[in-house]
């Protein structure tokens, strides 16, 4: 996972229009054979898995998969009691050949025909690029711990996603148990096939028989790896098989552009709208910004089937007529409106939340989203996110390898580094003689935070505001009350947005005795003081994401004039390969100022994963952070203290 501060329940009851978290995002994992979010589990075992791929000369293909899965616990029954199988209804067929349950005593229960059905208008919210996806559902009966589910499915690729393209991607998660797994591939010997394997038996070179090339791979793992605190996408380290008829990534870009280029035609309606949006605006960058804002805030994002299937977007005019579309449609309309003003743009294929590296062979499955690139301004835009200002990108789009389809070349979005992910916090605590506290938290939002918080605050209203403010205080652990003050309009993408939080708490501290006080948790703010909880394990066996990040927290504690300040900690600093942490304490009369700063490093560079051997440095760094936040301000009349006898 990404190194992240545990999420803060800031606005209970509110739901952002775009998926977002308030503190950090975790990277989504490409679909693995048996892995979901890298969660280790021995609740079940793949007793037998077979995948057979038959590829024709025109790249049409048939995949037949067979599963036998032992369900050991109730959790496994919840996971596998209903199997969901996605496919493109316009380009593929999916047939359930057989499906049944084998109980622990050997009885067979076939799945009834009406328990195998198709859900219409289904698409995966995590893969909006593939907007015509349907799902075939198998509901198993007579399940109990010790039962097995057995099923076979056949998926036929009637039309390749791109001319001449075939892709195979099988990943066996190290967190799952496989007793017997085998994958086979057959294709015409003359059909180019680029192969990459890791951790499986069977090589890259085929056996040739009767003009057909044959590959066969086996895998077995009886003891799954235990869950790891930090893990990148499972395909980056688990046993994997990849095959593609494309040799280079630009081939995918060219193929997509052939389908998408005609959709961005500038019609009279598109031209009229572009002129209206930019009326009175002569600066070309400002014209582009105005068009982007219009698309982001007026074209409703809908991840449903709209076009002719697969990856072909709808025409710009039809998107304009409907005022909704998926990610491909957003890109097409934005491209057409910009073209109407003579501003060039390119569609961009991106793996949203998929990390900084690409597979060894070109596979379409690595990309799940489409955004826009403006070469004139060297800017990437994602108009599916209605909360990002012109030039901003949500966290999932940052630091990602991408395909610019118009130019047919690989590129990379701006890094999710300390420049875009800098977290700054300024908090005032003022105490009176009775020990009551009042104060204010000011958050200087990073680009990533601003995007996320616009979505939440846009839904703040008179009905839910009090509940949201109560949840902020509750999440800080302080028994008090508070009030949100927004700085700017979350719906106004012309201007920056931020907020502050004013708070009060009665009887927070007793100044009538000698005592010590740590810096309180900041209501409405996120503190990096809890990072150490993510490194509880002494070691980490998998690669992980480690973007550069910077945190800066300043606390000012104002004590009453007649309360003696006895002592405060010395400043300290710690540096290692993972980063740099420092804390400084100073006194100005009755005010004590504490500053905590943390710089976290992308240890192996912004385009690479951190490795297991890098984990101890982060663990050591975060333990130093923990110690630094333990520092206490000592106050009170020593005359009121009782000296313990020796």
> Is the pLDDT at 189 greater than 80, yes or no?
yes
Q: Where in the chain is the domain with CATH 2.60.120.1130?
A: 422-638
- Encoded tokens for 289: 């910004």
User: Of the segments 291-305, 311-325, 350-364, which one has the largest average pLDDT value?
Assistant: 350-364
For the chain, what is the mean pLDDT? 89
Q: What is the band of 350 on the pLDDT scale with cuts at 50, 70, 90? A: very high
DSSP SS3 for 277: helix
Q: Domain 422-638, what architecture?
A: Sandwich (2.60)
DSSP classification of residue 356: S
Contact 415/548 with Cβ under 8 angstroms?
A: yes
Query: Residue 122's pLDDT is what?
Result: 46
Closest CA to 169 of 368, 369, 28, 361: 361
According to DSSP, the β-strands at 346-350 and 207-209 are: unpaired
Confidence class for position 120, pLDDT limits 50, 70, 90: low
Helix/strand/coil for 291: helix
The pLDDT assigned to 303 comes to 65
Residue 605 predicted with pLDDT over 80 = yes
Helix axes 327-340, 268-277, angle to 10 degrees: 80
Please answer whether residues 213 and 188 qualify as being in contact, where contact means their C-beta atoms are separated by less than 8 angstroms. yes
Chain segment 241-250, per-residue pLDDT in tens: 999 999 999 9
348 CB-contact burial (10 Å; exposed 0-12 / middle 13-18 / buried 19+) = buried
Calpha distance 626→637 (Å, rounded): 29
Q: Residue 195: which pLDDT band, with cuts at 50, 70 and 90?
A: very high
Handedness of CA 331, 333, 336, 339 (dihedral sign): negative
Measured between alpha carbons, how far is 609 from 606 in angstroms, rounded to an integer? Answer: 8
Q: What is the mean pLDDT of residues 519-529?
A: 94
Name the residue with tokens 């004139």: 376
Task: Let me know: does 148 contact 101? Beta carbons within 8 Å.
Answer: yes
DSSP string, 20-68: --SS--PPPPPP-BS-STT----SEEEEEEEEEEEE-TTS-EEEEEEEE
Instruction: Name the residue among 425, 422, 490 with its Cα closest to residue 14.
Output: 490
User: How is residue 448 written in tokens?
Assistant: 């990533």
310 band by pLDDT with thresholds 50, 70 and 90? low
Query: 109-137 burial string, b = 16+ CB within 10 Å, else e?
Result: eebeeeebeeeeebbeebbbbbbbbbbbe
Residue 458 near residue 490, CB atoms below 8 Å: yes
306: tokens are 């709209």
Residue 438 to residues 506, 525, 591, Cα–Cα distance (Å): 9, 15, 14
> What pLDDT does 645 receive?
66
Identify the band that residue 86 occupies on the pLDDT scale cut at 50, 70 and 90. Answer: confident
pLDDT in tens, 391-415: 999 999 999 999 999 999 999 999 9
| Beta strands in 60-210, from DSSP E residues, in sequence order | 61-71, 82-88, 92-102, 108-110, 116-119, 133-139, 148-157, 167-171, 178-188, 194-198, 207-209
Q: Is 70 exceeded by the pLDDT of residue 338?
A: yes
**What's the rounded Cα separation, in Å, for the pair 379 and 286?**
13
Q: Quick one: which of 452, 521, 535 has its CA closest to 3?
A: 535
pLDDT above 90 for 509: yes
More confident: 460 or 590: 590
Whether the pLDDT of residue 26 is over 60: the answer is no
Strand, coil or helix: 212: strand
What local confidence, expressed as pLDDT, does residue 516 receive? 96
Does the pLDDT at position 4 exceed 90?
no
Residues of the chain with CATH 3.10.620.30: 250-412
512 neighbors 431 (Cβ within 8 angstroms): no
pLDDT category at 420 given cuts 50, 70, 90 is: confident
pLDDT higher than threshold 90 for residue 285: yes
CA 70/CA 101 separation, integer angstroms: 10
Three-state DSSP string of 242-272:
EEECCCCHHHHHHHHHHHHHHHHCCCHHHHH
Residue with tokens 């001449």: 164
- CA-based nearest residue to 355, from 624, 172, 542: 542
Indicate the pairing of strand 61-71 with strand 591-600. unpaired
**44-246 architecture in CATH?**
Sandwich (2.60)
Q: What digits encode the pLDDT tens for the residues 96-108?
A: 999 999 999 999 9
User: Region 369-376: what's the mean pLDDT?
Assistant: 96
Query: Do β-strands 324-325 and 92-102 pair in parallel, antiparallel, or remain unpaired?
Result: unpaired
| Backbone φ, ψ for residue 336 (5° rounding) | -70, -45
Query: For residue 547, what are its two tokens?
Result: 């973007």
List the CATH code of the domain at 250-412: 3.10.620.30
What is the percentage of the chain residues whose pLDDT exceeds 90? 80
Q: What pLDDT score does 643 carry?
A: 64
- Percent of the chain at pLDDT > 70 equals 90
Least confident piece of the model among 303-307, 361-365, 417-421: 303-307
């Amino acid at each position: 996972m990404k190194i992240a501060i545990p999420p803060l329940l800031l606005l209970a009851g509110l739901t952002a229009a775009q998926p977002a978290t308030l503190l950090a995002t975790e990277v989504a994992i490409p679909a693995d054979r048996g892995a979901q979010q890298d969660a280790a589990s021995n609740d079940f075992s793949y007793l037998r898995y077979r995948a057979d791929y038959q590829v024709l000369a025109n790249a049409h293909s048939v995949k037949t998969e067979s599963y036998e899965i032992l369900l050991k616990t109730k959790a496994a029954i919840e996971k596998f009691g209903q199997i969901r199988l996605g496919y493109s209804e316009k380009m593929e067929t999916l047939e359930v050949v057989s499906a049944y349950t084998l109980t622990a005593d050997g009885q067979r229960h076939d799945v009834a025909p009406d328990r195998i059905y198709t859900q219409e208008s289904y698409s995966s919210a995590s893969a909006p690029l593939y907007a015509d996806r349907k799902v075939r559902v198998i509901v198993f009966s007579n399940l109990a711990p010790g039962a097995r589910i057995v099923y076979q499915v056949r998926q036929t690729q009637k039309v390749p996603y791109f001319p001449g393209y075939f892709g195979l991607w099988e990943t066996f998660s190290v967190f799952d148990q496989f007793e017997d797994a085998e994958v086979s591939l057959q294709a015409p010997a003359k059909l180019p096939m680029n192969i990459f394997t890791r951790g499986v038996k069977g090589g890259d070179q085929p056996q040739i028989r009767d003009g057909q090339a044959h590959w066969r791979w086996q895998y077995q793992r009886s003891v799954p790896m235990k869950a790891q605190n930090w893990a990148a996408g499972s395909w980056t380290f688990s046993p994997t098989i990849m095959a593609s008829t494309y040799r280079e990534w630009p081939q995918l870009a060219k193929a997509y552009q052939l389908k998408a280029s005609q959709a961005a035609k500038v019609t009279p309606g598109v031209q009229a709208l572009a002129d209206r949006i930019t009326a009175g605006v002569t600066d070309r960058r400002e014209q582009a910004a105005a068009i982007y804002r219009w698309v982001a805030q007026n074209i409703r994002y809908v991840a449903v089937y709209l076009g002719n299937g697969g990856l072909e977007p709808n025409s710009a005019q039809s998107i304009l007529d409907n005022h909704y579309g998926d990610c491909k449609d957003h890109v097409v309309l934005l491209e057409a409106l910009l073209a109407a003003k003579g501003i060039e743009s390119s569609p961009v294929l991106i793996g949203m939340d998929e990390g900084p590296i690409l597979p060894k062979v070109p596979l379409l499955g690595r990309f799940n989203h489409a955004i826009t690139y403006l070469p004139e301004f060297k800017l990437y835009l994602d108009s599916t996110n209605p909360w990002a200002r012109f030039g901003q990108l949500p966290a999932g789009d940052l630091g990602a390898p991408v395909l610019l389809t118009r130019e047919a070349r690989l590129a990379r979005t701006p890094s999710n580094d300390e420049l875009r992910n800098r977290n700054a916090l300024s908090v005032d605590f003022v105490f009176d003689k009775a020990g009551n506290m009042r104060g204010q938290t000011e958050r200087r939002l990073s680009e990533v935070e601003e995007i996320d918080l616009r979505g939440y605050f846009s839904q703040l209203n008179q009905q839910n505001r009090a509940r949201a403010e109560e949840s902020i205080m509750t999440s800080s652990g302080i028994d008090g009350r508070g009030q949100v003050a927004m700085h700017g309009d979350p719906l106004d993408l012309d201007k920056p947005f931020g907020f502050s939080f004013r708070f009060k708490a009665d009887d927070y501290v007793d100044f009538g005795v000698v005592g010590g006080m740590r810096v309180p948790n900041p209501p409405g703010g996120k503190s990096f003081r809890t990072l150490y909880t993510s490194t509880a394990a002494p070691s980490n066996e998998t690669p992980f994401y480690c973007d550069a990040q910077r945190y800066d927290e300043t606390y000012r504690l104002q004590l009453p004039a007649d309360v003696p300040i006895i002592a405060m900690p010395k400043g300290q600093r710690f540096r290692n390969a993972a980063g740099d942490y420092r804390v400084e304490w100073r006194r100005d009369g009755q005010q004590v100022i504490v500053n905590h700063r943390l710089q976290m490093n992308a240890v192996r560079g912004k385009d690479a994963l951190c490795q297991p051997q890098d984990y101890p440095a982060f663990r050591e760094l975060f333990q130093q952070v923990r110690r630094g936040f333990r520092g206490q301000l000592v106050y009170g009349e020593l005359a009121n203290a009782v000296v313990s006898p020796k």
